[in-house]
A and B are shown apart, each in its own frame.
Chain A
Amino acid sequence: MKVNRWTVWRRIVQILVLLLLATPSFGLSFFEGNLGAAAILGLQLSDPLAALQILILTGSLTLTMLSGTGIILLFYGILGGRVFCGWVCPVHFMTDLTDMFPWTKRLTFWRLEWKYIALAITGILSFALGVPAFETFSPIGIAGRALTFGASSSLIVLVLIIIIELILVRRIWCRCLCPLGGFYTLLGHLSPLSVAYDQAKCTNCGECQRVCFVPEVLEPTLNKQVDRVHSGECTRCGACIGICPDHALNFGIRKPF
């Protein structure tokens, strides 16, 4: 089996992120928080969607949140919104591994646009419940807390995701349901970094779509309509680049449109 170098890099980053999230439980203090809000060596970071919910609920933001959100928006704005999903998010890592089990009969994929509905519902629920709704039910938060505060009943949410993805629909959470994924998809449209496509080299073998967890994004490219992957759904995971036998795909930087 050919080793996909980009996937290897991504696994290393994903494991490093898990270790980083777990550092407070090892008694190390250079990192505190989770993927909703954190400080690394004193640098304040916060998730833009979390900040947005607090802004909706209270009409104001602390300076810490504002600057932390600015840094994150800039980071993922340049690298591509769903880089968060592909390289950082522990739930995506978990469902990546779940998706390696090939033996189940499942619906292959559902529609991607549901994420926007989930995002809208998150906003409505925030109002209805008077809490930042995504931070409340987020499996990402639950995973992060489990890493530092130990296992608890909340982990049932993660187990449910694994079971549903194993027996019903592949990648349903990350593809169709995650409000944060929806948010970062919107941000990803603006990114200058994307997968570039060399039409002359491509033999239309379809390997790239086979390894991609959102193969829809490669459709217009393979139909030779565009010379790069435009969709914000692309996590810039690089799996297609690593697998392409014709070296027709690579990361490229273009003027954002």
Chain B
Amino acid sequence: MPEEQKENLPIGVKGAVVGGAAVYLLFKAGAGYGWMLRPPGAVTEEEFLKKCLRCGRCAHVCPYNSVEMGRLTDGIAIGTPVIIPREMPCYLCPDLPCVKACPSGALDPELKDALKTRMGTAVITEREECLSIKGLRCEVCYRTCPAIDKAITVENYLNVKTGRHAIFEPVVHKKDCTGCGICEKACVLERPAIVVQPLQPPSESWYEG
């Protein structure tokens, strides 16, 4: 009996190493799936992945159910909180319940002012599609922006196509944009012309301290 057991152990070690390697490859392969919009106060992505326990408390306390949890297809980010603005953006609660709920500091408790968070930044990705830039009076992104006249302003200039009308172009100012995604959600187009993207280059921290 003891000899049989001695033979079993190396199989166990081999099995465990193979299993460990498989898990490593599975998650390493899924790690390249690009950027995810994190809840307010999230520390840098590398640090965030180290600290996030995937407990879902930020999602449980979110009054808008804005926070979803990563799926198996998100690779290494499985179970981590993500905001998909087109489904439900972050409405920047002044009391920041998600940040308060986070036990591990993945959402930095030093963040006190929701407007200071820098989850990402809105970018007008489809200039040709944007109704305002086409010369129509849309400006929905500007009107819904929680940092209106700071993060998004409207610049007007002559519509050269008609020669007599004005174009009211929404302009994003990265410095003041929280990355909440309300504009992305509000954009009237089927595929939004304004989309939240990562801050480039990534700063030391995703919010202003």
Residues of B within 8 A of A37 (CB): 53, 55, 57, 103-104
Q: Say yes or no: B53 contacts A135, CB within 8 Å.
A: yes
Residues of A within 8 A of B20 (CB): 121, 124-125
- A47 (CB) vs chain B CBs: closest residue: B53
Map CB proximity to A onto B1-44 as digits: 1 under 8 Å, 0 otherwise.
00001001100110111011001100110010000000000000
Give Cα A121 to B19, complex, Å: 9
> Which stretch in A89-97, A142-150, A207-215 binds the other chain?
A142-150
Q: Is B112 an interface residue (CB 8 A)?
A: no
Q: Say yes or no: A137 contacts B27, CB within 8 Å.
A: yes
Chain A at the B interface: SS class: helix
Q: Is A192 an interface residue (CB 8 A)?
A: no
Residues of A within 8 A of B126 (CB): none
Q: Say yes or no: B104 contacts A111, CB within 8 Å.
A: no
Q: Say yes or no: A131 contacts B76, CB within 8 Å.
A: yes
> Which stretch in A50-58, A70-78, A196-204, A237-245 binds the other chain?
A50-58
Q: Is B86 an interface residue (CB 8 A)?
A: no
**Contact A130:B78 (CB < 8 A) given known A34-B55, A117-B13, A136-B27:** no
Partner of A154 from B59, B71, B103 at Cβ < 8 Å: B71
Q: Say yes or no: A129 contacts B76, CB within 8 Å.
A: yes
B93 to chain A, nearest CB (A): 15
Interface centre among B9, B19, B103 (most CB of A within 10 A): B103
- A131 (CB) vs chain B CBs: closest residue: B49
A-B contacts, CB under 8 A, total: 137
Q: Say yes or no: A44 contacts B103, CB within 8 Å.
A: yes
Residues of B within 8 A of A62 (CB): 103-105, 109
Q: Say yes or no: A39 contacts B101, CB within 8 Å.
A: yes
Give Cα A132 to B50, complex, Å: 6
Q: Say yes or no: B50 contacts A156, CB within 8 Å.
A: no
Residues of B within 8 A of A44 (CB): 103
Residues of A within 8 A of B50 (CB): 54, 57-58, 130-132
Q: Say yes or no: B103 contacts A125, CB within 8 Å.
A: no
B44 to chain A, nearest CB (A): 12
Q: Is B47 an interface residue (CB 8 A)?
A: yes
Q: Is A18 an interface residue (CB 8 A)?
A: no
Q: Say yes or no: A148 contacts B53, CB within 8 Å.
A: no
Q: Say yes or no: A141 contacts B79, CB within 8 Å.
A: yes
Interface centre among A24, A36, A65, A125 (most CB of B within 10 A): A36
Partner of A33 from B5, B56, B71, B79 at Cβ < 8 Å: B56
Residues of A within 8 A of B143 (CB): none
- B109 (CB) vs chain A CBs: closest residue: A62
Q: Is A6 an interface residue (CB 8 A)?
A: no
Interface centre among B16, B55, B61 (most CB of A within 10 A): B55
Q: Say yes or no: B72 contacts A152, CB within 8 Å.
A: yes
Q: Say yes or no: A152 contacts B71, CB within 8 Å.
A: yes
Residues of B within 8 A of A177 (CB): 19
Give Cα A145 to B82, complex, Å: 14
Residues of B within 8 A of A148 (CB): 56, 59-60
**Contact A153:B46 (CB < 8 A) given known A58-B51, A114-B12, A121-B20:** no
Interface centre among A111, A131, A137 (most CB of B within 10 A): A131
A-B contact pairs, 24 of them (CB 8 A): A32-B57, A33-B60, A33-B103, A36-B55, A37-B53, A37-B103, A54-B53, A57-B51, A58-B50, A110-B8, A111-B5, A114-B15, A117-B12, A118-B16, A118-B19, A121-B20, A136-B27, A136-B54, A141-B54, A141-B55, A145-B79, A149-B68, A153-B71, A156-B72
Q: A33-B57, A118-B19 are in contact. List 13 more A-B contacts (CB 8 A).
A: A32-B101, A36-B54, A39-B103, A125-B20, A125-B24, A135-B52, A135-B54, A148-B59, A149-B56, A149-B59, A154-B79, A156-B72, A157-B72
